[in-house]
Copies of this chain bind each other. A is one copy, B any other.
């Protein structure tokens, strides 16, 4: 019967660290480094890898560490990762969701500011001016009301816009709102 030359199929499970196990580690680590390097070059991405050598046995601590593509670069990449916010670290869709989340926050703040402004405008338009109405001619009052209406319209438009987009963003609809938010 012929011996099994060449690559035999193996199942992926723990190989005790005898000679062959160690051989496997060495070979595969080498192959892995090559693949990491290829990915890095092909796609121009920052990749790093940290790997501790296999344990001799259950008592002995594991072997020395292997890092790719080198200590400083690896730590730099990890530091870049660590410096990200929890959301940025966790969410796969960083470029979308994080951006939108920040946008939502900004819009909420703007919205509350505008609502407050609006309340103030409404207050001003109703109460304090009441006592001053006698100082104006009818013509002036008409102009004033027109002016107020226009102002209110603008304010309501703004409220509507913000509300609408707040809803759209919550629904995950990315409208082409970017660049349209200048009042």
The answer to whether B25 and A12 touch across the interface, beta carbons within 8 angstroms, is no
Interface membership of A178, Cβ < 8 A: no
The answer to whether A82 and B91 touch across the interface, beta carbons within 8 angstroms, is no
Given contacts A29-B39, A42-B13, whether A81 and B65 have CB atoms under 8 Å apart is: yes
Q: Once bound together, how far apart are the Cα atoms of A46 and B15, in whole Å?
A: 14
The answer to whether B46 and A35 touch across the interface, beta carbons within 8 angstroms, is no
The answer to whether A45 and B25 touch across the interface, beta carbons within 8 angstroms, is yes
Q: Once bound together, how far apart are the Cα atoms of A54 and B45, in whole Å?
A: 5
A51 cross-chain contacts in B, Cβ below 8 A = 39, 45-48
A63 cross-chain contacts in B, Cβ below 8 A = 94-95
Interface membership of A111, Cβ < 8 A: no
A12 cross-chain contacts in B, Cβ below 8 A = 37-38, 41-42
The B-contacting residues of A in range 63-115, CB under 8 angstroms, are 63-67, 71, 75, 77-78, 80-82, 84, 88-95, 98
**What's the nearest-Cβ distance from chain B to residue A145, in Å?**
50
A10-28 toward B: CB 8 Å interface, digit per residue (1/0)?
0011110100010011001
The answer to whether B24 and A64 touch across the interface, beta carbons within 8 angstroms, is no
The B-contacting residues of A in range 140-173, CB under 8 angstroms, are none
Q: Once bound together, how far apart are the Cα atoms of A62 and B21, in whole Å?
A: 38
A80 cross-chain contacts in B, Cβ below 8 A = 52
Given contacts A36-B32, A43-B17, whether A65 and B53 have CB atoms under 8 Å apart is: no
The answer to whether B45 and A47 touch across the interface, beta carbons within 8 angstroms, is no
The answer to whether B50 and A77 touch across the interface, beta carbons within 8 angstroms, is yes
Contacts A25-B45, A49-B49 supplied; 10 other A-B pairs, CB < 8 Å:
A12-B42, A14-B42, A14-B43, A15-B43, A21-B42, A45-B62, A47-B49, A47-B50, A48-B50, A64-B91
